[in-house]
Amino acid sequence: MKRLMRYNQLMHNSKRIIPYILLGWWLWAISASLQAVEVDGLYEAELSVTSQGRAERRGVIRSALTEVLIKVSGNGQVALSPGIPEILSRSSQFLQQYRYRNAAENQKYLWVRFDQVSLDKALRSIDVPIWGRSRPVTLAWLVIEQGSQRQLLGSSEDSTFAGIVIEQSKRRGIPLDLPLYDLEDQQRVRVTDILGGFQESILSASERYAADAVLVGRLRDIGNNRWEGRWTLHLGGRESHWSQQGDFDAVLGFGIDGAASSLASNFVRVATSNPGELMVLVTDVFTLEDYARSDSFLAGLDGVIRIQPGQIDNDQILFKLKVRGDQQSLLQSVRLSNQSVFALAEPKIVPVIPQTTLGDITSAPDITFRLLR
């Protein structure tokens, strides 16, 4: 009788939970091709200085923290968010390390690193989103047009333009690659394809790079030190377009900023100071090693604060996770991880472990994963 009552309760709860399982499955499906990488240096910045004086250092540290907040949140306008001015006013409190570097022609730079733990805590207290280190890769097809000269930037070139592009992408904390533009690329994509906006050939040539997003940029010198930039980002079957005129650095920066903002809007979720709970069921757990892999992987995901595992029952185990964010955030963290540990199980009613260290659980899991071999 007790088992029957538990089964009936499970069926009742499942009617409410199934739509969320289906939503999770759909979210997983649209991101199935993501090949994210780990981004380093998110909490670091380097800015030019004229001296090593204390007054200038204070101002530069504040500016460096602004750059770090942009990278960490994915929001180019984060400095305007409520609560951020107060954090910036305390920039020295988050400072972990700094040093000066001398470059050519008497140019000096100040490199700073901020404490991730205390800065993340401050951002969560005001509900500012935090973008984890695992981020999607963008492939950029960029053409520079000056008069009759047209140059498509490739990764193998020792080009000033290419160097500026990579530095701008690092400033925003997005992994960005340029195509090889070798013989294979040249046979499939012409400069005129990019100038004319022939997206089909560009996307076809991009397949060999297995990037998560494709950025197409056309930068044209219009005279008097002014440039025009037209940009298109392809992400998940959708296109985003934007353009701007100004000096070269501003136009290029606007293009990279637009790409970073579009990526962030798709992949960043608010990590609040008020954690929630998710029940995660992992199947195909046959050994203690499988148990350890599952536990370690979940505990290391972005946004997971604490994990409480239950006992192994047959080939499955139920975990109770305390998380910042929601179900979609957890699915995204799993998919963006550079480890292939879990696959999302097909949406179905999964029998719940009747007795675990979590207590007598009678509700269906929020998410069900299958442990990969």
Q: Domain boundaries in the chain?
A: 2-30+271-371, 41-125, 134-267
Which of 79-83, 124-128, 335-339 has the highest mean predicted lDDT (pLDDT)?
Answer: 79-83
Going by C-alpha positions, the residue among 39, 100, 32, 34 that lies closest to residue 64 is 100
Mean pLDDT is lowest, of 14-23, 124-133, 172-181, for 14-23
User: Is the confidence at residue 23, as pLDDT, over 50?
Assistant: no
Pairing mode of beta strands 138-146, 176-177: parallel
Domain 134-267 in CATH 1.10.3470: no
**DSSP codes joined into one string, 166-197:** HHHHHHHT--EE-----HHHHHH--HHHHHHT
Cβ 283 vs Cβ 350: under 8 Å: yes
pTM passes above 0.75: no
In sequence order, what are the residues at sequence separation of 6 or more whose Cβ sits closer than 8 angstroms to the Cβ of residue 323? 275, 276, 277, 278, 303, 304, 305, 329, 330
Q: How far apart are CA 59 and CA 288, in angstroms?
A: 53
Going by C-alpha positions, the residue among 112, 279, 252 that lies closest to residue 176 is 252
Q: How far apart are CA 34 and CA 36, in angstroms?
A: 6
Calculate the average pLDDT of the chain: 83
Mean pLDDT confidence for 88-110: 93
Mean pLDDT is lowest, of 58-67, 311-320, 340-349, for 340-349
Which pLDDT tens digit goes with each residue over 188-199? 999 999 999 899
Mean pLDDT is lowest, of 59-68, 212-221, 290-299, for 290-299
Question: Given pLDDT bands bounded at 50, 70 and 90, which one contains residue 272?
Answer: low
Place of tokens 């951020």: 84
User: Is the confidence at residue 70, as pLDDT, over 90?
Assistant: yes
Residue 29 confidence (pLDDT): 41
The angle at the Cα of 278, spanning 273 to 284, to the nearest 5 degrees, equals 140
Going by C-alpha positions, the residue among 20, 7, 112 that lies closest to residue 68 is 112
Cβ 126 vs Cβ 82: under 8 Å: yes
User: Exposed, middle or buried by CB within 10 Å (0-12, 13-18, 19+), for 151?
Assistant: middle
User: Is the confidence at residue 283, as pLDDT, over 60?
Assistant: yes
Q: Residue 259 is encoded by which pair of tokens?
A: 């790409």
User: Is the confidence at residue 24, as pLDDT, over 60?
Assistant: no
Handedness of CA 254, 257, 263, 267 (dihedral sign): negative
Measured CA distances, 118 to 19, 86, 301, 307 (Å): 37, 14, 19, 22
Number of helices and strands (H, E) in the chain?
A: 12, 16
Residue 21 confidence (pLDDT): 40
